[in-house]
A = this chain, B = another copy of it.
Amino acid sequence: MNLIARRKDEHQKTTTVRVGDVIVGGPELVVVAGPCAIESYEQLLSTAPEIKRLGATMLRGGAYKPRTSPYSFRGRGELGLEILSQVKALTGLPVVTEVMDARDIEQIAEVADMFQIGSRNMQNYTLLSEIGKTKRPVLLKRGLAATLEEWIFAAEYILAEGNDQVVLCERGIRTFGTYTRNTVDIAAIPALKELTHLPVFLDPSHGTGRWSLVSPVAMAGVAAGADGLMIEVHPQPDVALSDGEQSLNFEHFAELMSKVRPVAKAVGREII
């Protein structure tokens, strides 16, 4: 089928997606970093300048968090967005944050430079279509058990509404494996490059669920051709309200950046 998302031929360039001043899909290897959930002004304000100093060019942080249990911490909501807005103003970093409900789009659009659609909502067609109408950049995470074809069709729901600013983000799939939280499908990165013209990110934090594996898998993703990385960083992973086990502290994030840089260079990418 003649999808908008499909790469027409091998010479077609990867679409570039502009998020604030950051250009995704070009020579720069874009590193997005920040906490899983925005917990407090102090937490985000201590994190953002640090990740910027180390080479990240976008800030992530969830205000609305999809959680398996209704009784878990589900994010700070509006307060989270306000914190994000203030920290964005202070650091100048463009921000990406998740939208779970089409009714929140307008509110989130006031601060987000890029919407994130999470794995659980990859086939929430209402949300995809509404995001499609916004023309705002979108980071579309792969569903837990989505085939490449289903994922590309999910992107097509957005593209079909006229929004061509879509970045795909591999974040691991569900398999029989138990050592890691998910199984990073590393071949998906070059496969999506063959099949589509959209930029592709890797999230090794959710992909592995273990901080000690985040660096080597990030390096692998860059070597395989990823246009960007999404990394969970928290000032004190031990006391994080969510995803502490897979979050890097500043020291480990610095180490990741120092290891990723030479690999990026080896494949012709730059980290600013």
Bound together, the chains give a CA A177 to CA B178 distance in angstroms of 10
Bound together, the chains give a CA A17 to CA B41 distance in angstroms of 46
Q: Give how many A residues have a beta carbon under 8 Å from the other chain's beta carbons.
A: 67
- Chain B residue nearest to A125 in the complex (CB): B66
Bound together, the chains give a CA A184 to CA B265 distance in angstroms of 24
Q: Which 10 A-B pairs have the closest CB atoms?
A: A145-B145, A223-B223, A190-B216, A120-B123, A220-B220, A262-B266, A266-B266, A220-B224, A219-B223, A186-B186
Smallest beta-carbon distance A156→chain B, Å: 6
Chain B proximity mask over A168-212: 1 for CB below 8 Å, otherwise 0? 000001111111100111111111001000000000000110101
Which A residues are closer than 8 A to B by beta carbons? 1, 66-71, 100-103, 120-121, 123-126, 129, 143-145, 147-150, 153, 156-157, 160, 173-180, 183-191, 194, 207-208, 210, 212-213, 216-217, 219-225, 259, 262-263, 265-267
Let me know if A145 and B176 touch, CB within 8 A: yes
B residues less than 8 Å from A70 (CB atoms):
125, 129, 153, 156-157, 160
Smallest beta-carbon distance A195→chain B, Å: 8
- Chain B residue nearest to A189 in the complex (CB): B216
Bound together, the chains give a CA A173 to CA B173 distance in angstroms of 12
Let me know if A183 and B173 touch, CB within 8 A: yes
Let me know if A187 and B175 touch, CB within 8 A: no
Let me know if A147 and B216 touch, CB within 8 A: no
Interface centre among A143, A190, A212 (most CB of B within 10 A): A190
Let me know if A69 and B266 touch, CB within 8 A: no
- Chain B residue nearest to A126 in the complex (CB): B101
Let me know if B194 and A207 touch, CB within 8 A: no
- Contacts A123-B66, A147-B178, A184-B187 given; indicate if A217 touches B224 (C-beta within 8 A): yes
B residues less than 8 Å from A68 (CB atoms):
123, 149-150, 153
From B156, B189, B213, A69 is in contact (CB under 8 Å) with B156
Instruction: Known pairs A219-B223, A223-B263; list 7 more (Cβ under 8 Å).
Output: A71-B156, A71-B160, A124-B124, A145-B176, A147-B178, A173-B177, A187-B216
